[in-house]
């Protein structure tokens, strides 16, 4: 039996990065190769590491979720996490305290923003119907805060630091953080060297923060996430002369969800529940960039499937010993 406890390690809380570096590309890079060998680099070394003919695939989603603080008409405080825009001034939202907010409850967020609680969607999610305003999204941007992962306890002064420089499609509740290290200058240098780039789209949902809750991994069920792969990206994959390298676990999930065979992918839009763990045979990618993940998570299982559990845990042990910065605002790892 494949057990969740086999993917545990000791993560000192002090290593969980609470703020992003001022310079996106100033992070460290731990490069783990297929032989289990480790090199310690600065992130800008990616321009030397990647080679002409390689294809770098990125997730072009943008964080559009908003965190709001308001109150019921009784004065009771309410926190709302707007996860998804449903159109017609309606949003899918995570509300706290959820149990006290019945259908018909009215929440006032200030600046003329008022919403009514509608149906219960389960898993703590409700629909909120906002009072129609011509500038609703602008007001939400002004009043709302960037929703950061629960392990980050600081306020982010610059919202763009929780967005990738190449993200164009709004829809995510969380950033594809492996891409936060890339700058326009690095991407331009890679293209000038002959490294091609392509994009896919996967809108990251709340499930990215939810831990695996079963010891027997055969019993774990992934929640669905919407993803998209274009004909242009499929053509680049089929024609790639070098390695296909994904930026982040969400990009890997998308590429492998559309795979039909070695280096072959379909195109379109679909929901994926693909669960990549040791024993999985990768069809599309040769390597990936990723940040350092929490213990016992599906992301840690995915990278263990690519490089082997022992190699990953040994690399994490060394990263802890060398005081790498972990999680969303932390340092980068290259598995290649």
Cβ atoms < 10 Å from Cβ of 268: 12
CATH of domain 4-63+158-335: 3.40.1780.10
The answer to whether 170 and 62 are in contact (CB under 8 A) is yes
Where do you find CATH 3.40.1780.10 in the chain?
4-63+158-335
Where do you find CATH 2.40.10.240 in the chain?
66-143
CA–CA separation, 176 vs 163, rounded Å? 8
What's the pTM? Answer: 0.91
E strands in the chain: 28-32, 38-42, 55-59, 61-63, 66-72, 77-87, 90-96, 106-110, 113-122, 125-130, 169-172, 196-202, 225-229, 244-247, 259-261, 264-265, 268-272, 287-291, 332-335
* Each residue's pLDDT expressed in tens, for the chain with a length of 336 residues: 689 999 999 999 999 999 999 999 999 999 999 999 999 999 999 999 999 999 999 999 999 888 999 999 888 899 998 988 888 999 989 888 877 788 899 999 988 899 999 988 876 788 999 999 888 988 888 888 888 888 898 888 888 999 999 999 988 889 999 999 999 999 999 999 999 999 999 998 766 666 788 999 989 888 778 899 999 999 999 999 999 999 999 999 999 999 999 999 999 999 999 999 999 999 999 999 999 999 999 999 999 999 999 999 999 999 999 999 999 999 999 999
Burial of 133 (0-12, 13-18, 19+ CB in 10 A): middle
Task: CATH number for 66-143: choose from 2.60.40.1180, 3.10.20.30, 3.40.50.970, 2.40.10.240.
Answer: 2.40.10.240
The answer to whether 7 and 300 are in contact (CB under 8 A) is yes
Q: How far is CA 84 from CA 64, 66, 126, 216, in A?
A: 8, 9, 11, 32
Which residues have a Cβ under 8 Å from the Cβ of 23 and sit 6 or more positions away?
none
> Among 329, 324, 323, 327, which Cα is nearest to 22's?
329
Beta bridge partners of 110: 113
């Amino acid at each position: 039996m494949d057990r969740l406890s086999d993917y545990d390690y000791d993560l000192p809380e002090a290593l969980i990065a609470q703020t992003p570096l001022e310079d996106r590309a100033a992070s460290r890079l731990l490069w783990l190769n297929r032989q289990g060998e480790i090199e310690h680099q600065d992130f800008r070394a990616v321009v030397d590491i990647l080679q002409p003919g390689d294809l770098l695939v990125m997730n072009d989603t943008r964080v559009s979720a908003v965190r709001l603080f308001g109150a019921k008409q009784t004065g009771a405080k309410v926190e709302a996490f707007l996860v998804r825009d449903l159109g017609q001034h309606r949003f899918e939202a995570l509300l706290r305290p959820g149990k006290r907010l019945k259908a018909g409850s009215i929440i006032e967020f200030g600046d003329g923003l008022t919403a009514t609680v509608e149906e219960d969607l389960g898993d703590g999610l409700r629909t909120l119907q906002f009072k129609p305003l011509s500038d609703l999204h602008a007001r939400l941007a002004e009043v709302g805060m960037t929703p950061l992962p629960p392990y980050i306890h600081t306020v982010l002064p610059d919202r763009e630091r929780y967005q990738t420089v190449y993200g164009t499609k709004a829809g995510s509740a969380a950033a594809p953080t492996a891409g936060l290290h890339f700058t326009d200058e690095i991407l331009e240098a890679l293209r000038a060297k002959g490294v091609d780039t392509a994009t896919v789209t996967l809108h990251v949902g709340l499930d990215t923060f939810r831990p695996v809750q079963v010891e027997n991994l055969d019993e774990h069920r992934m929640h669905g996430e919407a993803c998209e792969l274009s004909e242009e990206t499929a053509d680049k994959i089929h024609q790639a002369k070098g390695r296909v390298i994904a930026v982040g676990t969400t990009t890997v999930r998308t590429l492998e969800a559309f795979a039909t065979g070695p280096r072959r992918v379909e195109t379109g839009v679909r929901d994926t529940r693909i669960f990549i763990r040791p024993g999985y045979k990768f069809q599309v990618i040769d390597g990936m960039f990723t940040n350092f993940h929490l213990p016992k998570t599906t992301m840690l299982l995915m990278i263990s499937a690519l490089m082997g559990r022992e190699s990953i845990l040994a690399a994490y042990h060394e990263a802890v010993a060398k005081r790498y910065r972990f999680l969303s605002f932390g340092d980068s790892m290259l598995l290649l």
